[in-house]
Amino acid sequence: MTTRTGGSVAPVLELRSVGRIHGRGEVRVQALAEVNLTVVPGELLAVMGPSGSGKSTLLMLAGGLDTPTDGEVLVEGQPLGALGRRRLAALRRRSVGYVFQDLNLLPALTAAENVALPLELDGGSIRKARSAAQAALTEVGLEHFGERFPDDMSGGQQQRVAIARALVGARRLVLADEPTGALDSTTGEAVLRVLRARCEAGAAVVLVTHEARHAAWADRIVFLRDGRLVDDTGHTASAESLLSRGGSR
């Protein structure tokens, strides 16, 4: 594994021959098959593909929120399948930031409380969690909205709160499922700039998007079709043979 600078570096995320089958019998769906993928520190990877191609499934597996039926997922070199429930939960809280497609903000908590939650759950000091939350809200341009409740914010603001929650603290792996969905194009660009800055600070980011102009911010783009990684000619390919492209930033 080599980086853009040519040095050797341990991947933050690795999928080894990962498959995921949902259901069984007549409702059996092969959501992912034989996916090999490596994301290194500093890398922004975009995942594209039609609806139902397995993008969200891939992200859930990468974040340890779902378990593969084949192969293995490693985060910071740790095979998730070998971790017990408690250690997996701790790794998710400390290392992984997740922006869900449907946001999942808690309506009873303010924006700042939503963002601080992963750190507070982890048992850190509340004061530190709150100041980290304020920093993350500032990163997404919501420094004055910490005391608002999600229901009193626009869709775009709620989405930025969800992004701040994924970024709070020192997350090494940020997984974002169509995070620019409810954002106008200017705010969408601002969010991508934030994700890009996190990469420059050493995180690995996986971004699911259907917008080519957002994928253009990525170091590398992979495509899913029917649960398989394909190259841009539509042929099934291993991750290694997929073209590596520089983003047009």
Q: How far is the CB of 32 from ligand ADP (least distance, A)?
A: 8
Tokens of 187: 């705010």
- List interacting residues with ligand ADP (CB under 6 A): 22-23, 29, 31, 49, 51-57
Nearer Cβ to ligand ADP (20/220): 20
The interface partner of residue 22, options being Mg ion, ligand ADP, none and the CB cut-off 5 to 8 Å by kind, is: ligand ADP
Nearer Cβ to ligand ADP (23/107): 23
Contact string (CB under 5 A) for Mg ion, positions 31-70, x = contact:
------------------------xx--------------
| CA gap 136, 152 in Å, rounded | 19
| CA gap 24, 28 in Å, rounded | 4
Phi, psi of 117 (to 5 degrees): -55, -50
Residue whose entry in the numeric block shows the structure tokens 């990962």? 18
Nearer Cβ to ligand ADP (51/233): 51
Nearer Cβ to ligand ADP (52/156): 52
Interface residues for Mg ion in 149-188 (CB under 5 A)? none
Q: How far is the CB of 17 from ligand ADP (least distance, A)?
A: 18
Q: Which residue is nearest to Mg ion (CB)?
A: 56
If binding means CB under 5 A, how many residues of this protein chain bind Mg ion?
2
Tokens of 186: 């200017």
In the chain, beta strands by DSSP E: 13-22, 29-39, 44-48, 70-75, 78-79, 96-99, 173-177, 204-208, 220-225, 228-230
Q: How far is the CB of 20 from Mg ion (least distance, A)?
A: 13
Nearer Cβ to Mg ion (56/158): 56
Strand order in the sheet with 173-177: 96-99, 173-177, 204-208, 44-48, 220-225, 228-230
Collapsed DSSP state (helix, strand, coil) of residue 244: coil
Q: How far is the CB of 20 from ligand ADP (least distance, A)?
A: 8
Q: How far is the CB of 42 from Mg ion (least distance, A)?
A: 26
Residue 186's alpha-carbon distances to 75, 97, 208, in angstroms, are 32, 23, 18
| CA gap 12, 10 in Å, rounded | 7
Residues that bind Mg ion (CB under 5 A): 55-56
